[in-house]
Amino acid sequence: MKNRRKITTLSNDELFALCQKEEQPVCFSELYRRYIPMVYGLCLKYLGNESDAQDAVMDLFEEVSQKIKRYDIQNFHTWLYSVAKNHCLLRLRKAKQSSFVNIDDTIMENGDFFTLLDKEKSNEEESALIFCMNELGEEQRKSIEYFYYENKSYADIVFITGYTLEKVKSYIQNGKRNLKNCIRRVLKIE
């Protein structure tokens, strides 16, 4: 019990370092417990329903507990986000669902933009994306880069930039729309 109290007082980085150094299941369990809200939110965003998201969170616990021993992980938060995202995409592929087509933008914050970043792009599409990112205002560009390319949460972006939460959400939403319109214009898509 004394060990448990000590573990709960450690920062995420300290706890992760301890997980890598010592193979104590209680360390990993505490670390994963702290990240459940992020993992659940991500799974819910991709999978579209609570039951599947909860199942994915449990599956990921097992998967991550094994992978953490095999990989040289520099940033646990970013690594976990990528593993969770890939897990959800794999589940969707296996189920051959068309979730991305049917999910409403109000449910899925990232909407069409996810497919733009996740799919293979032609040189022309890649050039259009780079050009249009540079056409965005600084606030929108920074917010989109942090959110989509660096997998930062809204809270992370607020902390890094000093923008309010409402501004961050607005910059991302408006930036996505402006980016989409710009890309359509550059690629001459109706």
Confidence at residue 139, expressed as pLDDT on a 0 to 100 scale? 94
Q: Are residues 20 and 77 in the same domain?
A: yes
Confidence at residue 3, expressed as pLDDT on a 0 to 100 scale? 55
What does the alpha-carbon distance between residue 88 and residue 142 come to, in Å, rounded to a whole number? Answer: 26
Q: Are residues 61 and 22 in the same domain?
A: yes
What does the alpha-carbon distance between residue 147 and residue 151 come to, in Å, rounded to a whole number? Answer: 5
Q: Are residues 117 and 83 in the same domain?
A: no
Burial of 128 (0-12, 13-18, 19+ CB in 10 A): buried
Q: Are residues 70 and 161 in the same domain?
A: no
Confidence at residue 137, expressed as pLDDT on a 0 to 100 scale? 92
Determine, yes or no, domain membership for 159: yes
Q: Are residues 97 and 120 in the same domain?
A: no
Half-sphere exposure of 68 toward its Cβ, with a 13 Å CA cutoff? 27
CATH number at residue 23: 1.10.1740.10
Confidence at residue 121, expressed as pLDDT on a 0 to 100 scale? 65
Q: Are residues 45 and 115 in the same domain?
A: no
Tokens encoding 166:
């409402």
Determine, yes or no, domain membership for 106: no
Q: Are residues 7 and 92 in the same domain?
A: yes
Q: Are residues 55 and 141 in the same domain?
A: no
140, 171 Cβ separation under 8 angstroms = yes
Q: Provide the domain count of the chain.
A: 2
Domain boundary among 101, 135, 153: 101
Q: Are residues 81 and 116 in the same domain?
A: no
> What is the torsional sign of CA 163, 126, 190, 111?
negative
Cα first-last separation, the chain: 64
Confidence at residue 156, expressed as pLDDT on a 0 to 100 scale? 83
Q: Are residues 8 and 64 in the same domain?
A: yes
Determine, yes or no, domain membership for 168: yes
What does the alpha-carbon distance between residue 93 and residue 90 come to, in Å, rounded to a whole number? Answer: 5
Residue range of the domain that includes 26? 2-101
Average pLDDT of each block of 10 consecutive residues along the chain (190 residues)?
66 81 76 89 89 89 82 84 90 65 40 50 79 91 87 85 89 89 83
